[in-house]
Structure 1
Amino acid sequence: MARTRPHYGGALRVEIAGDPWQQPGGIARRLVYDGLTHLDPDGALRPALALTWESDSNNHRWQFRIRSGVHFHDGSPLTSAAVVTSLTASCASDCPWGAVKAVGPLVVFTSDSPMPNLPALLAGDAFLIRFATTGDGNLPVNQGTGPFQVTGFNNGVLTLTANENGWEGRPFVDAMEIRAHRPVREQWLDLGVGRADVVEVPAEQLRQAQQQRLNVLTSPPLVLIALQVAETGALANVKLREAVAAAVDRSALYNVIFQKQGEITASLLPQRLTGYSFLFPTGRDMNKARELRGGLTSGQLTLATESDSAMQLAAQRIALNLREAGFNVQMAPAGANYADLILRKLPLAGTDPAAALEQVMRSAGNPIPVTDATPMNLFKVEQTYLGERKLIPLFDLPLAYARGPRVRDLHLRADGTPDLADASLEDAQ
């Protein structure tokens, strides 16, 4: 029993290829910040900084009661006013609510439209609660209420220390060291020689990780890879956007680049949430693409994506697909947000399909409320939205991480990121 009981102490070493603060999914965000609500590992909605919530006026008004006795890392008390300030800073326009205000211990949201999915949306990465204070050297520091607080950033290593007075209790490890912008190959080498405890495993390298006998934790498909299409400029004509959708070869991307991980899809939500994903055809139709394009000319198109190597390869393959259909496509610099076509990763979390559908459309820049959660209506909303060809779903991918031999009790959250606050180290004293 003593061997299996979690130990307190030690520093957990994590290596990632990206930015620990990136949104969504930055690994440091949920270690330092909390939301009003959160999703448990099974995707069910649970209280967090809000202890209870209730709606009235047919979901036009919601009130969330803030948990008492919670403090930010600098000792400031969590208040409803601080929550409103944070949410207002996080969402300046196109919010899931019309207005938000503090009333005593309550945070009250109102809207001219029903907001049935608001509690689930507030569990999202964009609405974590924080506020800025002045730290050492008069630099602004974002304070949170999470299980860890920021204590340093040197030579690419972000250092977090345990929050001794956290509302959920103290985490097991004393500190977290997150090394950012580390290539995956170097992460795996460090894991092998004991310099890292938790590293990333990209979906396209899952088979390789298993062959190398890494201890891998894998989520269900939680990331939608989709092609976002500008509806103005060169692709203002919907027939041209339909031609783009028909020309993309999902099977080649899935089999070659992403090594048959996850699922091919042409719908916004995965089959496991709705049961109707198969109704959206995923096959390539080059004849249809050429017919739709016909004599229409789009001029030169630009295609961009993130700096992720697999996404870059996928974007290049998509560019070839489109050239075969008669489009003139050039690659834009990595991370460009002005391109006609952008290959994106959109999060898919939770078990509520209505909330997930609204969230993925919001992530794509289309804040469309989903007020009817019946399967027929969800299908209709998807069908109407996808018919405009502003977003072309391609596949759903899992998230995965490998852990070293001294890490215990590590599991993945509902969004696929590792729940490092609950992990412990076997050799901790």
Structure 2
Amino acid sequence: MWRSAWPLLAIVSLTGSATSVSAEFRPRYGGALMLELHDVLTLTDPGDWPAPLAGLVYDRLVELDDRGRPQPGLASAWTHDSENKRWQFTIRPGAKFQDGSPITAASVRASLKSWSDVEISGEDTILIQTEKPSPDIPIELAGVRNAILRRGSDGVTIGSGPFRITEWQAGRHAVFAANEDYWGGRPFLDTVELTMGRPLRDQLIDLELGKADLVELSLDQARGAAQRGMRTWRSLPLELMALVFEPGHRAVEDTRLRRAVALAIDRAAILNVLLEKQGEPAGALLPQWMTGWAFLFPATRDLGRARDSAALIQPVPRLSLTYVPSDPLSRSIAERIALNAREAGVVIQVLPDAKADMRIARVRLRSHDSAQSLADIAAALGLPQLIRPDGGTLETLYAAEQKVLADFRVVPLFYLPATYGLSARVRNWQPAPGGNWRLENVWLEARVP
């Protein structure tokens, strides 16, 4: 899929350093990094995993650098014809799956089974032939859904990444051991131990008690942790927060009412006060760094037009807005939206965890592929399929967003970064701006007895 290049950006807290090795430290092999996530993972399918976690186990033919430019992965090189219709990828010599079996053109084609145009050109070469010019084939192949893998006899998938799955308790716990034969070199860590289903509050407590080395944080937690001198890091915007009007609710069936609410929202004030400038106002479903066209969808308040739109409805019905009770940020933003709407003549009652006319929704983007992310957002918000996750041109992607936003059924609010806390013993933490943790480069200080 087409994407603009990422900006060279990696953000750390102002009070806690989250970056690399200083001269007084020397890399050390060994140790187990303790990782905690809120997600509950039941399958060993990289498409169902957060992209940073999938990168531990699974490689793709192509990787993306910090600017979003294609770089060799399992494919050591590639060429194309003058029309960008015929692509040839050469598999890295000596690359192996984690069970020791070689990665061949046949195994790559088997992994890319959703692609109908992959041909074997030799033991270590595949061809991709397209009907139309496809200059973004390498970027598409860098998506997690195009990871190269095979399935073991026990049903657990086998990748070729820096870590391999050695223990899998679905939805609870997993252990990833260093791949001694990784083509990029053995990781410093011996293992990464993952605990799933941990609430964010418990993750922060475990980090403070020294029971975890890498945890997820809410924006509020990250601010507090940084103020206490803890190490934090945040990515590019990877989560969409949106206002969703529920279908079938008579009160919000009038487009003029939905428009009034949408135009009344003061994203700039919410961003400055409630989010403390952590994130970006959203007018589109996908962020600017991913598509390059988000700026074409307005995200500014227009109270005059909001009042005019509401004035066309007599009487203006009272509306209800709900949020997840365990999410204080969504509650605060819902309450602010209600205040904004009242200025336009629309009364909104905010209710926790209720069947309401509207809801605050949050969708984490698991993929950096535009088409896949748009398909994931549609599924999460209960929208009709906007586009096939395995295809789409620049024009069709833009048109799909434009169509779904035209009637104000969904109102994008903000793009939020992923935020993490790190223990003091984590060294050489140099993640990609898009969220890839790159744990193969991380090492741990020895625990003090």
Please confirm whether the aligned pair reaches a TM-score higher than 0.5, indicating the same fold: yes
Whether the 8 Å contact between 1:269 and 1:357 is mirrored in structure 2 is no
Separation in structure 1 between the aligned mates of residue 186 and residue 420 of structure 2, nearest angstrom: 24
- Aligned ranges for residues 254-403 of structure 1 at < 5 Å? 254-255=271-272, 258-267=275-284, 268-270=286-288, 274=292, 277=295, 280-283=298-301, 285=303, 288=306, 291=309, 294=312, 309=327, 313=331, 317=335, 320=338, 325=346, 343-345=361-363, 347=365, 360-365=373-378, 366-367=386-387, 369-371=392-394, 386-387=405-406, 389=408, 392-403=411-422
| Secondary structure at 1:134 match in 2 | coil
- Quote the offset at 1:291 in angstroms: 1.9
Whether the 8 Å contact between 1:305 and 1:315 is mirrored in structure 2 is no
Question: What's the counterpart of residue 29 of structure 2?
Answer: 8
Separation in structure 1 between the aligned mates of residue 336 and residue 109 of structure 2, nearest angstrom: 43
Whether the 8 Å contact between 2:222 and 2:420 is mirrored in structure 1 is no
* Identity, % of aligned positions: 32
- Quote the offset at 1:233 in angstroms: 9.9
Question: What's the counterpart of residue 212 of structure 2?
Answer: 196
Q: 2:429 aligns with which of 385, 390, 410?
A: 410
Whether the 8 Å contact between 1:399 and 1:417 is mirrored in structure 2 is no
Separation in structure 1 between the aligned mates of residue 179 and residue 78 of structure 2, nearest angstrom: 26
Q: 2:147 aligns with which of 128, 131, 134?
A: 128
- 2:185 is equivalent to residue 169 of structure 1: yes
Separation in structure 2 between the aligned mates of residue 301 and residue 259 of structure 1, nearest angstrom: 28
- 2:168 is equivalent to residue 143 of structure 1: no
Question: What's the counterpart of residue 98 of structure 2?
Answer: 73
Question: What's the counterpart of residue 10 of structure 2?
Answer: none
Whether the 8 Å contact between 1:53 and 1:64 is mirrored in structure 2 is yes
Query: Any idea what the Cα deviations from partners look like across 1:120-150, whole Å, max 9, x if unmatched?
Result: 1221222222222212xxxx11111111111
- Quote the offset at 1:341 in angstroms: 7.0
Q: 2:263 aligns with which of 221, 233, 246?
A: 246
- Aligned ranges for residues 80-159 of structure 1 at < 5 Å? 80-88=105-113, 91=114, 99-104=117-122, 105-135=124-154, 140-154=155-169, 156-159=172-175
- Quote the offset at 1:34 in angstroms: 0.9
Structure 2 residue identity aligned to 1:423: V
Separation in structure 2 between the aligned mates of residue 307 and residue 118 of structure 1, nearest angstrom: 42
Structure 2 residue identity aligned to 1:79: T
- 2:60 is equivalent to residue 44 of structure 1: no
Separation in structure 2 between the aligned mates of residue 290 and residue 327 of structure 1, nearest angstrom: 18
Question: What's the counterpart of residue 425 of structure 1?
Answer: 444
Whether the 8 Å contact between 1:262 and 1:396 is mirrored in structure 2 is yes
Classify 1:152/1:270 alpha carbon distance in 2 versus 1 (closer, same or farther; 3 Å). Answer: same
Structure 1 residue identity aligned to 2:147: L
Classify 1:218/1:329 alpha carbon distance in 2 versus 1 (closer, same or farther; 3 Å). Answer: closer
Whether the 8 Å contact between 2:259 and 2:309 is mirrored in structure 1 is no
- Aligned ranges for residues 225-236 of structure 1 at < 5 Å? 225-227=241-243
Question: What's the counterpart of residue 353 of structure 1?
Answer: none
- Quote the offset at 1:251 in angstroms: 4.5
- 2:59 is equivalent to residue 34 of structure 1: yes
- Quote the offset at 1:65 in angstroms: 2.0
| Secondary structure at 1:399 match in 2 | strand
TM-score (norm 1): 0.75
Whether the 8 Å contact between 2:365 and 2:373 is mirrored in structure 1 is yes
- Quote the offset at 1:274 in angstroms: 4.9
Separation in structure 1 between the aligned mates of residue 301 and residue 29 of structure 2, nearest angstrom: 52
Separation in structure 2 between the aligned mates of residue 233 and residue 411 of structure 1, nearest angstrom: 47
Classify 1:222/1:400 alpha carbon distance in 2 versus 1 (closer, same or farther; 3 Å). Answer: same
Separation in structure 2 between the aligned mates of residue 188 and residue 79 of structure 1, nearest angstrom: 43
Structure 2 residue identity aligned to 1:219: S
Structure 2 residue identity aligned to 1:12: L
| Secondary structure at 1:245 match in 2 | helix
Classify 1:26/1:326 alpha carbon distance in 2 versus 1 (closer, same or farther; 3 Å). Answer: same
Structure 2 residue identity aligned to 1:262: G
Classify 1:300/1:326 alpha carbon distance in 2 versus 1 (closer, same or farther; 3 Å). Answer: closer
Separation in structure 2 between the aligned mates of residue 271 and residue 126 of structure 1, nearest angstrom: 20
- Aligned ranges for residues 49-68 of structure 1 at < 5 Å? 49-56=74-81, 58-68=83-93
Classify 1:321/1:348 alpha carbon distance in 2 versus 1 (closer, same or farther; 3 Å). Answer: farther
- Quote the offset at 1:405 in angstroms: 1.6
Classify 1:332/1:168 alpha carbon distance in 2 versus 1 (closer, same or farther; 3 Å). Answer: same
Separation in structure 2 between the aligned mates of residue 153 and residue 241 of structure 1, nearest angstrom: 46
Query: Any idea what the Cα deviations from partners look like across 1:11-55, whole Å, max 9, x if unmatched?
Result: 111122223667462543110111111122443321111122233
Separation in structure 1 between the aligned mates of residue 103 and residue 325 of structure 2, nearest angstrom: 37
Separation in structure 2 between the aligned mates of residue 39 and residue 384 of structure 1, nearest angstrom: 30
Separation in structure 2 between the aligned mates of residue 83 and residue 212 of structure 1, nearest angstrom: 48
- Aligned ranges for residues 201-216 of structure 1 at < 5 Å? 201-216=217-232
Whether the 8 Å contact between 1:50 and 1:64 is mirrored in structure 2 is yes
Classify 1:415/1:190 alpha carbon distance in 2 versus 1 (closer, same or farther; 3 Å). Answer: same
In the alignment, structure 1 segments of 5+ residues that lack a partner are 92-96, 351-355
Classify 1:327/1:312 alpha carbon distance in 2 versus 1 (closer, same or farther; 3 Å). Answer: closer
Query: Any idea what the Cα deviations from partners look like across 1:314-334, whole Å, max 9, x if unmatched?
Result: 785598589864789998889
Classify 1:317/1:82 alpha carbon distance in 2 versus 1 (closer, same or farther; 3 Å). Answer: farther
